[in-house]
Chain A
Amino acid sequence: MQLKALRAALAVLVSAGWALAADVAPAHADPPKPEAGASISFYADDDSVTVISPAASTTVPLTDTVAVDAAATLDVVSAASIDVVSQATPYAMSERRVEGAVGVTAAPFASVPELELSLRGIGSTENDYDALTLAAGARYEAFERNTTFLLSYGLGLDDVGRRNDPTFSRSRNTHHVTGTVTQVLDARTVADLVVDTSYVDGYQASPYRFVPIYDASGQRAYSLPERTPDGRWMGSALVRLRHAFGDSSEVYVHADYRFYLDDWGVLSHTVSVRGVLPLADERLSLSAAVRGYFQRGADFYERRYRDDGRGAPALRTRDRILGGMQTLSAEVSVLGALGGLPRDPDLRLFASASLLRFTWLDYELQAGRWAMILTLGASAPF
């Protein structure tokens, strides 16, 4: 019900975007080119989960100050993971998730060309989960475009269901505010600061996860549905430095650090470093990145929950990602530009391969998981 009402809101948002587009300055004699792209990603891990994700997107400038964009993604998921088969009803699953997004970006005030506004709607549906996100943002370039500010707000409205149970429906709402400052430090260096905070309100457990409760002797006594707090404040801050090394042939290096904290007690540090090496007059780029993620678990997370005669803990989860964990990953990408100018080609091609190692420090059923992601794609003006 909630989602139907919001689909109508999404339609209004899109209409408003088109109306805004039609009301702004007349078309430029030589407007920016429209562009379209497509990609396919393949995810697989050693826990029998595979996901194939074809995606397509397009951006169409309507005038020199207004552009609309749209994107669609399909996730085809199949899993016989230990996470799935350890639930109350063991089975392997296969399902599809469809996501669509539309957005409009405009510089609506001729007297303030440095200000750009955007509206975006993103919806997704699968057999047991529907989601809708509405977002609005403002981008302002100051100090002769040496500093860029970006402020955005997103409202997420999700409906959580349960397979083969039409009576099960829970809502989960998210408010998300992000502030970004990008500063040119010199002709070869840029710094970014991204600060965001979210509040999630509603059902945040899994309807499929049951938590075994052990008695004082260590024997498994019974199981209860997972239960987590209904509210969750989250905050994070990311600092990124981008620098070009070398004179005639540059190597670009990006270094990131993110700090995250929430009121469930989860705290994490994320570091990543990326190097980009352009070749053949920038028609080819090799990009390599490594990332490390180190997480302290939620306060209520336990490896085993016990009932010593006074009842089971009110908050309990078997979600391994709420415990202490680490992720180490490496990615290698190749980007190519064909035809036209190196920075304005007729066709862009990209291919990427990532290897990830997830390690759960306090999860009874599994110690870790290896995963890989392969992505291929292309984009072109039309």
Chain B
Amino acid sequence: MTMLRTSVGLALVGLTLALGGCAHVHPWERETLAAPGMQAPPCAPVARESEHVIAVREASRGGTGSVGGGCGCN
């Protein structure tokens, strides 16, 4: 687990440094990026319901960026 956490931490730092040097996109070039279809998720209520259903039917947690409250899984 320690090795995993260290690897993930190093990957995060490395990726952040690398991304800092990525292509620069100006605000007036972001019309496509602002489109509803580019948002993750495109429809938050639908994603929330799916995540809630899946959270009590699979053993893995996390990676969605959301914080839940109560599982109803007892």
Q: Which residues of A contact B (CB under 8 A)?
A: 37, 39, 41, 43, 53, 55, 57, 75, 77, 97, 99, 101, 120, 122-126, 128-133, 135, 142-147, 149-150, 152, 154, 156, 158, 160-161, 176, 178-181, 183-188, 190-198, 206-208, 233-238, 240, 242, 244, 250, 252, 254, 258, 260-263, 266, 268, 270, 274, 276-278, 282, 285, 287, 293, 295, 297-298, 321-322, 325, 327, 331, 333, 335, 343, 350, 352, 354, 356, 358, 371, 373, 375, 377
CB neighbours (8 Å) of A187 from chain B are 25, 29-30, 32-33
One of B33, B58, B74 near A160 (C-beta < 8 A): B74
A-B contact pairs, 14 of them (CB 8 A): A39-B49, A55-B45, A129-B70, A147-B16, A161-B74, A178-B65, A196-B62, A236-B63, A238-B65, A252-B42, A276-B37, A285-B36, A321-B58, A352-B43
In contact, A181 and B70 (Cβ under 8 angstroms) = no
Using a Cβ cutoff of 8 Å, how many contacts connect chains A and B? 234
Complex-state Cα separation, A53 to B29, whole angstroms: 40
Distance in angstroms between the alpha carbons of A145 and B73 in the assembled complex: 40
Contact A325 B58 (CB under 8 A): yes
Partner pick for A129 among B22, B23, B25, B74, CB 8 A cutoff: B74
Main SS of chain A's interface residues? strand
Q: Complex: how many Å from CA A240 to CA B42?
A: 14
Interface size on B, residues (CB 8 A): 52
Apart from the given pairs A158-B70, A196-B62, A333-B46, 9 other A-B contacts in the complex at a CB distance below 8 Å: A126-B74, A147-B20, A187-B25, A187-B33, A195-B8, A244-B38, A260-B63, A287-B43, A371-B53
Bound CA span A136–B46, Å:
24
Report whether B57 and A321 are in contact in the complex, using a CB–CB cutoff of 8 Å: yes
| Interface of B, helix, strand, loop or mixed by DSSP | loop
Q: Are B45 and A244 in contact (CB under 8 A)?
A: no
**Contact (Cβ within 8 A) A235 B4:** yes
- Judging by beta carbons under 8 Å apart, are B22 and A196 in contact? no
